[in-house]
Amino acid sequence: MIDETLTMIPGPTPVHPRILDALARPTVSHVAPSFVEAFREALAGFRTLCRSESGQPFVVAGGGTLAMEIALVNVVAPGERLLVVSQGYFGDRYAELAQAFGIPCDVLRSEWGKAVAPDELKARLASGSYAAVTITHVDTSTGTKSPAAAYCELLKGRDELVILDGVCATGGIDEPFDAWGVDVLLTGPQKAIGAPPGLALALFSEKALARRRSRAAVPAYYADVLRWLPVMQDPSRYFSTPCVNEITALAEALRILHTEGLEARFARHARQARAFRAGIEACGLSLFTEAPSRAETLSVVLYPEGIADAAFRKEMAARGVVVSGSLGSLAGRAFRLGHMGNIGPAEVAATLGAIEESLAALGVAVPRGAALAAAAPFLAPGA
């Protein structure tokens, strides 16, 4: 293997060999019956993942940011107001997108590491109305999981459309689209779904599609869902050449995901998060994110006094494990550890071992084996 490292960053995540095999199959025509079937399966598998009966899935070449743009431009017109609920860098990105499209927006922002309290949203909604509200399910910059279900409950029966950014959650944390009343769920394949990056995924409710249809035009061409709709309803149709290999790989990733089962997969993510946190704390490190808001998909770990970010990550890389630095005001103060997608006890053990050894190499005394011993009780299924 040329680059045999364990990629434990909050996306992209390790890609299972079965998915890599699917990616490496010969590129076929975008209208070949085998590809059309794989595309159809990927669309259906994505909708099932979101626990939706009637949501309309869209899968197009791009990234999570394109999915954010697709969600916004199709349901909020320039000049209409948007409310952004932000717990970090990616929440704030929605305010930037709004600005780029001439959409005035209010931002309800939490302190980093905490979530916006549902009561704050309630108070804001009591004093104004919006075309839509954006919610980041897990903000990858801060490791914060928002109380998305509670926010959605407050928005039920109101005119605002609910846009949920699931990029760092979908596939690892439950997102019951129909039950929560979400209007657009957007996500990417490269995190808890465990496929390679390169696609923008979005699920639109009937209300969201009706909002798009009520407008003669939107300030987009490639990102206009009405141009894609015929393809998503019949993948043998053409609008823009779909990325055949990535969609084939997504179909395989979703096959793996549904074979595991949603409940089992979400429970595994919760167990692995607990295991990592127990191991990290056994090393004497502390977590940045406030306890009730910690996401199951990543952890943000504060460095002890005297440990430099670059030195620590270099030691980790020398042991074959790649973790991420932090963004914004956390840069240099914490590392981000992804624990989502197709990983299991072997990856947890290898990563915790590398953390222990890297700390020891940098002069932090850690009892050998303490991290894994603390994590082990959480690793068995059913723990």
Q: Provide the binding-site residues for ligand PLP, judged by CB under 6 A.
A: 11, 63-65, 68, 90, 136, 139-140, 165, 167-168, 188
Smallest distance, Å, CB 65 to ligand PLP? Answer: 3
User: Pick from 63, 47, 45, 56: which is nearest to 251 by CA?
Assistant: 45
Tokens 């084939």 locate to: 248
Smallest distance, Å, CB 10 to ligand PLP? Answer: 7
Nearer to ligand PLP, 62 or 345 (CB): 62
Nearer to ligand PLP, 57 or 345 (CB): 57
**Within 10 A of 317 (CB to CB), how many other CB atoms are there?**
14
**Within 10 A of 261 (CB to CB), how many other CB atoms are there?**
11
Provide the strand spans (E) within the chain.
6-7, 56-61, 82-86, 105-109, 132-136, 138-139, 144-145, 161-165, 184-187, 199-204, 286-287, 298-302, 321-322, 334-338
Smallest distance, Å, CB 85 to ligand PLP? Answer: 13
Smallest distance, Å, CB 64 to ligand PLP? Answer: 2
Nearer to ligand PLP, 340 or 352 (CB): 340
Identify the DSSP state of 27: P
**Within 10 A of 323 (CB to CB), how many other CB atoms are there?**
24
Distance between start and end Cα atoms, the chain? 34
Nearer to ligand PLP, 201 or 257 (CB): 201
Smallest distance, Å, CB 11 to ligand PLP? Answer: 5
Nearer to ligand PLP, 296 or 356 (CB): 296
Report the distance separating Cα 164 and Cα 135, nearest Å.
5
| In the complex, residue closest to ligand PLP by CB | 64
Nearer to ligand PLP, 315 or 339 (CB): 339
Smallest distance, Å, CB 9 to ligand PLP? Answer: 10
- Per DSSP, the three-state class of 272 is helix
